[in-house]
Amino acid sequence: LSGIYVHIPYCKQACNYCDFHFSTKLITIPEMIQAMTWEIDQRKNFLPTSTLETVYFGGGTPSLLNPSSIELLLNSVQTNFKLDLKEFTLEINPDDLTQEKLSDWKSLGVNRLSIGIQSFQDDILKFYNRAHNSSQAIKALDLARNSGIKKLSLDLIYGFPYKNHDLWLDDLKKSIAFDPGHISSYCLTVEPKTVLGNQLKHGKFIEASEEFAAEQFEMLQEETSKAGYVQYEISNFGKENDFAIHNSNYWKGTPYLGIGPGAHSFDGKNRGSNYSNNNLYLKSYRNNQLSFQIEPLSEKDVINEYILTSLRTIWGTSVNRIAEMGMENFISENYKKIQNLEKEGLLSYIDHQIILTKKGKLLADGIAASLFI
């Protein structure tokens, strides 16, 4: 079964590190909702199946929308697809949260909230130009906890170049004390077209060293593991029954449909993407044209993408799956390499599955690249 990703391309303000697609010109929201419901309608046959098991509203900032706009988009999904819903996730920011919104989302069927906390340190939040402070973060978590929406996930950023690790440990302890079923945590990366990228270029910001970031990654692994979380993907930690279904399906190579500006799609053979520009997206809509561009993938691309994403997960890379994809001699061609990586303690190869060790997880992307066909 497949999933649908609905990208809400708006934010209140730009976070300094962010290179996702969003706009702060909120005036186009009403037309954007119409355009996106139209896109859902037009692309109902994109996926190899008409049944969806996950709905994911991401962004941008979905919690910025009125619940009635979310309802319009959801209605369009319901009209065009059969829903066998296991998970309906909404990404939210702490500063948008009210009891009213939470109860509206719950009545729409939202059963999982992914909350953009990032840090509990006011000076770091300010440095990131987040729209919330730490007391709003704590209040939002309490509201979410009491909303009756069962599954909660927290987003955290590590690798802020502070002089020591105390603040990161504090963030981890505060997050774990709240006891969410799921934590996602990514390292602060400096992308060129961001405020941070500009600061780096002009010497106003100095990135954390690789070693410093790796130490914080190890702290993340240790603290979450002590608290009973399973690192089921390099950056994702869940309690039993709380692993993200929608994202896990991406990593396993399941097709998905992406709606809205900047959204990507995958039908099992081709990748597609929409213009990452709200005005161009709306212009196409006014001309009755999809802003969607298809990029056919070669067999090699599909296999390499599968290796890259699956190797990051606890389930690992299935050699049988690679054979089904057309590369039957993968093991015979890579056996020596895999044996060497196994000797170095970076992966294990058992029952036709290649699985990274704890040490290997630190070097995941490099190991994947060495196995590309």
196 versus 341: smaller Cβ distance to ligand SF4: 196
14 versus 290: smaller Cβ distance to ligand SF4: 14
As measured in angstroms, the least distance from the Cβ of 320 to ligand SF4 is 38
14 binds ligand SF4 (CB under 6 A): yes
Site for ligand SF4 in 85-114 (CB under 6 A): 93
Site for ligand SF4 (CB under 6 A): which residue of 4, 6, 8, 15? 15
User: In whole angstroms, what is the distance from residue 113 CA to residue 58 CA?
Assistant: 10
As measured in angstroms, the least distance from the Cβ of 128 to ligand SF4 is 8
186 binds ligand SF4 (CB under 6 A): no
195 versus 325: smaller Cβ distance to ligand SF4: 195
As measured in angstroms, the least distance from the Cβ of 20 to ligand SF4 is 5
As measured in angstroms, the least distance from the Cβ of 10 to ligand SF4 is 8
Cα–Cα distances in Å, from 54 out to 59, 74, 192, 212, 356?
Answer: 16, 12, 33, 37, 27
- For residue 297, give the DSSP letter: P
Site for ligand SF4 (CB under 6 A): which residue of 23, 61, 134, 224? 61
Site for ligand SF4 (CB under 6 A): which residue of 3, 59, 253, 316? 59
* Candidate ranges 12-20, 31-39, 166-174, 279-287; the one touching ligand SF4 (CB under 6 A): 12-20
127 binds ligand SF4 (CB under 6 A): no
138 binds ligand SF4 (CB under 6 A): no
Tell me the one-letter amino acid at 292.
F
As measured in angstroms, the least distance from the Cβ of 362 to ligand SF4 is 25
Strand partners, 349: 354
205 binds ligand SF4 (CB under 6 A): no
Site for ligand SF4 (CB under 6 A): which residue of 1, 20, 162, 218? 20
As measured in angstroms, the least distance from the Cβ of 8 to ligand SF4 is 9
23 versus 254: smaller Cβ distance to ligand SF4: 23
9 binds ligand SF4 (CB under 6 A): no
Farthest CA pair distance, the chain: 59
User: In whole angstroms, what is the distance from residue 36 CA to residue 270 CA?
Assistant: 21
* Candidate ranges 7-15, 69-77, 255-263, 281-289; the one touching ligand SF4 (CB under 6 A): 7-15
Site for ligand SF4 (CB under 6 A): which residue of 5, 22, 46, 232? 22
The alpha carbon of residue 180 and the mean position of all alpha carbons in its chain are separated, in whole angstroms, by: 17
The DSSP annotation for 27-67 comes to GGHHHHHHHHHHHHHHTTTSSS-SEEEEEEEEES-GGGS-H
Cα–Cα distances in Å, from 95 out to 57, 111, 131, 138?
Answer: 17, 20, 7, 11
Give the pairing type, strands 317-318 and 353-356.
antiparallel
Could you tell me if 367 and 341 are in contact, meaning their C-beta atoms sit under 8 angstroms apart?
A: yes
102 versus 196: smaller Cβ distance to ligand SF4: 196
187 binds ligand SF4 (CB under 6 A): no
Cα–Cα distances in Å, from 155 out to 64, 70, 236, 350?
Answer: 17, 22, 9, 32
* Candidate ranges 46-54, 58-66, 103-111, 362-370; the one touching ligand SF4 (CB under 6 A): 58-66
Strand partners, 182: 153, 238
User: Hey, is 156 helix, strand or coil?
Assistant: strand
Could you tell me if 313 and 333 are in contact, meaning their C-beta atoms sit under 8 angstroms apart?
A: no
Tokens read off for 69: 């706009």
Q: 161: closest CA among 189, 185, 191?
A: 189
62 versus 360: smaller Cβ distance to ligand SF4: 62
Residues near ligand SF4 (CB under 6 A) are 11, 14-15, 18, 20, 22, 59-61, 93, 116
